[in-house]
Every structure is written in structure tokens, then in C-alpha cells.
A and B are shown apart, each in its own frame.
Chain A
Amino acid sequence: SAVISQKPSRDICQRGTSLTIQCQVDSQVTMMFWYRQQPGQSLTLIATANQGSEATYESGFVIDKFPISRPNLTFSTLTVSNMSPEDSSIYLCSVEAGQGMSTDTQYFGPGTRLTVL
């Protein structure tokens, strides 16, 4: 398994501002994922972040709105840009622990609860 920490744990932000969320893992991992969980909903994948390459975004998510950095194998950031109240969600960092096969499992950070006023 992997131990994942996220900062901040929660924040309240004003409309139009940006917030950068940090994700730190206690071991080197190839693949890191960013999810969004809107109130009362399941998890939706935003993007996959691999070190040394641009993040791969899912349908409905774009780099200008959710820029991601992956400077090394233990760290990633997700920025929520030009926020609106619809961006109020829990943002979760996740890593895949294993051999990189499709049977590997994902582990999650504690999440960042974002409220946009």
C-alpha cells in the first residue's frame, strides 16, 4: 500500500480565484490520479499524471481549468483555476500501487474539501 497526504485538507475560496492542491506519497509511484467528488456523488476521474509528461485529461476536463504538475515520482499538484461555486467538491489524489498492470489497486489520499463562495 501507499501513504498519501494532501494539502490543504479544506479551504473556502472566493469566486474567480485559484487554489493549488498538493499530493505527497511516501514511495515512488509511476501513476498518480486526480479525482473530483461532488457533494453526494461518486468519484470522477479528472486526469492521470505521469512524471515527465503532460497529464492526460478525461472528457469534460481541460488543462486550462485544472493544470497539473508532476515534478517527481512522489509529488503532484492540481490547480483549480478561476473557481466558481460549481467547483465546490472534494478533490482526491490517488496512486496505483503495484506492477503497473491493470490488476493493480488504487489508494487514495484524505481529500481536499473545497468550498467556493
Chain B
Amino acid sequence: GQQLNQSPQSMFIQEGEDVSMNCTSSSIFNTWLWYKQDPGEGPVLLIALYKAGELTSNGRLTAQFGITRKDSFLNISASIPSDVGIYFCAGPYTGGFKTIFGAGTRLFVKA
């Protein structure tokens, strides 16, 4: 079935550094979603991408929908301590309404 491979699994960075994480699949996705989950909370949608090649920003976050529709990346610029959390990529099953999630990238930011 469709799977999302997310990397890296975790990142330890210094405040102010830029961060890049990505998500790949052997299957084509029509939508790529990036969520952030703070400790003890539900995931919050950061960016939604609907078109191959699309590049979208949300403040210090930038995400791109790969041209092959099989990958996406999320960049965070000038990281701050509140960026700490788990970042999930996600996408709906082709032809269905379910959404599948990557394993998550755990981000730790040292002040």
C-alpha cells in the first residue's frame, strides 16, 4: 500500500539554525500536508500543498510539492525554541478519503 517515508527521524539543532526535513513515497500523492504536534496536543496543520511543483510559505516555514508528486520537503528558517515538536507529513490515499502519515521528525532546539 501507499507509504510515506519521512526523514530525518530526529534533529537536534541550535536556535537560529535552518532546518530541512523531507518526505518521500513510491506512490503518487495529489496532496501533501505538513503538521506539527506539540507535546500533549493534537497535530496542527502548517501547510497544505495541492499542486505539483507548488512552493508555499507560512511565516518562517516553506514547503514544496515535488514535481514528480512523490516527495515534499519542509524548511524552517531561523529556528526558535517553540519550534520544538514532531513534524508529520501526510497525504490522502489516492482515490480515497483516508489520510496516511509519515513516522514524524522530532525536532529539538537548543537555546
Contact = CB atoms under 8 A, between A and B. Distances in A.
Contacts of A96: 97
B45 interface: yes
B22 to A, nearest CB: 16
A113 B45 CA distance: 20
Interface residues of B, number: 27
A111 B48 CA distance: 21
B103 interface: yes
A71 B88 CA distance: 31
B45 A107 contact: yes
A105 B90 CA distance: 10
Contact of B92 (A43, A102, A107, A108): A102
A105 B43 contact: no
Contacts of B100: 45
B40 interface: yes
Interface string B35-53: 1000011111100101000
Interface of B: 30-31, 33, 35, 40-45, 48, 50, 88, 90, 92-104
25 contacts: A1-B45, A33-B98, A41-B103, A42-B102, A42-B103, A43-B43, A45-B99, A45-B100, A92-B42, A96-B97, A100-B97, A102-B93, A102-B96, A102-B97, A103-B30, A103-B50, A104-B92, A105-B45, A106-B33, A108-B35, A108-B43, A110-B41, A111-B40, A111-B41, A113-B40
